[in-house]
Amino acid sequence: MSSTSNYPLDKVQRGVPKWRARPFQLVSLLDMIKFRARDFLRLAQYLKWIQTLIETDKEKTPGVDSRLEEDIKQILVGRLDSMTELCKDIGLELSVMLLEEIKHDVAVASDSRPSYGFLKFGADIQELARRIDHEMSMPLFLCIPRSKAEYFDQPALFGADVSNKFPDDSYDVQEAGNSLATGRNTACVMHLMRALEVALDATGLGVGVPQAVIEAKNSWETLLKKIDSQMVANDKASTPDWPPKRQFFVDAHAHLFAVKNAWRNPSMHLEKKYEEAEAERIYRAVKDFMEHLATHLNASGQFTP
């Protein structure tokens, strides 16, 4: 996965792992390793140090549960405190709960409570290591191919002009990109269809064909013929405002024809599943069409030279 978000990976709420603080964002494998690599390493080092201490005690007094001396207890509590803070930062909540229990048992261990010595402490640390492993295996990450990363989480996927001229389409355009990036090809086409409605109505209003969306839903052929007929009528009427925008709408008509061919369906209804190649073809056609419209037309059909 590629990192596309501008959100700083090192600035999240304390105690909340980055995949929870900023879910549904793209991060590269390197980011995933780097953003807590030092913390994971220190956590492993603390565990290794404690396990070495326990093994050393076993070798000195085989089969005997040595009690925790005061100086050792202070060192252990310090190490456990550090591990607790690391687990909080990483987001290992269950491991933090177990660490708090272990710290309490270590702190109160004494001659009057000889049952908690190195053997019991060692068993707790083994359980802690297992719990950390389990918790770290729980978050799941969706891999997006690098070739599709450019489509993901882009508020202005079709460019700033399209976003400014057709603001009501922003959600569906962005979701079309997200769907294409994540292999949800039919969902991509659905969002493109929704985004196209605003563009079709704007085109119809600009030429003089009202309710263009309804016409397209009934038949692309009918809509294209009506737009073509209306442009011929506009040529004959010779109104002063038509000649400056005539070529623009001729080109828009050509783009619409390309959209129709990309859909390969006389209607706009989603009557089937769409495969990746089909979704990409429709995506490109709709994008080209809307980019063309945004050069001179807004959502209300107003033409600006």
Residues 6+ apart with CB under 8 A from 214: none
Q: Which amino acid is at 186?
A: T
Looking at 109, 136, 163, which one is the last position of a domain?
Answer: 136
What whole-number distance in Å separates Cα of residue 229 and Cα of residue 231? 5
Q: Are residues 154 and 127 in the same domain?
A: no
Phi, psi for residue 165 in degrees, rounded to 5 = -80, -30
Residue 67 has pLDDT above 90, yes or no: no
pLDDT confidence bin for 8, thresholds 50/70/90: very low
Which range is least confidently modeled, 140-144, 225-229, 257-261?
Answer: 140-144
Q: Which amino acid is at 256?
A: L
Instruction: Look at residue 301 and tell me if it is in a domain.
Output: no
In percent, how much of the chain has pLDDT > 70? 81
Q: Answer with the residue of higher pLDDT: 204 or 108.
A: 204
**pLDDT one-digit tens code per residue, 115-172:** 778 888 888 999 999 998 888 877 767 778 888 989 998 989 999 999 999 999 999 9
pLDDT confidence bin for 245, thresholds 50/70/90: very high
pLDDT confidence bin for 24, thresholds 50/70/90: low
User: Which of 9-18, 35-44, 220-229 reaches the highest mean pLDDT?
Assistant: 220-229
Helix or strand (DSSP H, E) at 177 = helix 170-181
Q: Answer with the residue of higher pLDDT: 19 or 167.
A: 167
Q: Are residues 206 and 126 in the same domain?
A: no
Q: Are residues 112 and 232 in the same domain?
A: no
Looking at 136, 164, 187, which one is the last position of a domain?
Answer: 136
Picking from 74, 135, 62, 144, the residue whose alpha carbon sits closest to that of residue 107 is 74
Half-sphere exposure of 104 (CA within 13 A, CB side): 6
Distances (CA, A) of 117 to 72, 82, 103, 203, 205: 11, 21, 13, 80, 83
- Note the pLDDT of residue 9: 42
Mean pLDDT, the chain, rounded, equals 83
- Note the pLDDT of residue 39: 75
Instruction: Tell the residue number behind the tokens 């600009």, with chain if given.
Output: 206
- Note the pLDDT of residue 19: 56
Residue 133: left if φ>0, alpha if ψ -120 to 50, beta else—which one?
alpha
Instruction: Look at residue 26 and tell me if it is in a domain.
Output: no
Instruction: Look at residue 127 and tell me if it is in a domain.
Output: yes
Which range is least confidently modeled, 22-31, 188-197, 222-231?
Answer: 22-31
Q: Are 303 and 292 in contact (CB under 8 A)?
A: no
- What pTM does this model have? 0.68
Residue 100 has pLDDT above 60, yes or no: yes
Instruction: Look at residue 189 and tell me if it is in a domain.
Output: yes
- Residue 32 in tokens: 């995933």
- Note the pLDDT of residue 5: 41
Residue 110 has pLDDT above 90, yes or no: no
Q: Are residues 89 and 202 in the same domain?
A: no
What is the residue range of 103's domain? 36-136
- Note the pLDDT of residue 18: 58
pLDDT confidence bin for 273, thresholds 50/70/90: confident
Q: Are residues 41 and 84 in the same domain?
A: yes
Q: Are residues 195 and 161 in the same domain?
A: yes
Q: Which amino acid is at 230?
A: Q
What whole-number distance in Å separates Cα of residue 108 and Cα of residue 89? 26
Residue 208 has pLDDT above 90, yes or no: yes
Rounded average pLDDT over 251-270: 79
- 46-70 per-residue burial string, b: 16 or more CB within 10 A, e: under 16: bbeebeebbeebbeeeeeebbbbee
Q: How many domains does the chain have?
A: 2
- Note the pLDDT of residue 279: 93
- Note the pLDDT of residue 11: 43
Q: Answer with the residue of higher pLDDT: 218 or 244.
A: 244
Phi, psi for residue 103 in degrees, rounded to 5 = -60, -40
Q: Are residues 189 and 116 in the same domain?
A: no
In percent, how much of the chain has pLDDT > 90? 45
Tell me how crowded residue 103 is: count the other CB atoms within 10 A of its CB: 18
Rounded average pLDDT over 244-267: 86
Output 301-305 pairs: Cβ under 8 A, ≥24 positions apart.
Answer: 301/201, 301/202, 301/203, 301/204, 301/205, 301/206, 302/206, 303/206, 303/241, 303/245, 303/248, 305/244, 305/245
- Note the pLDDT of residue 4: 41
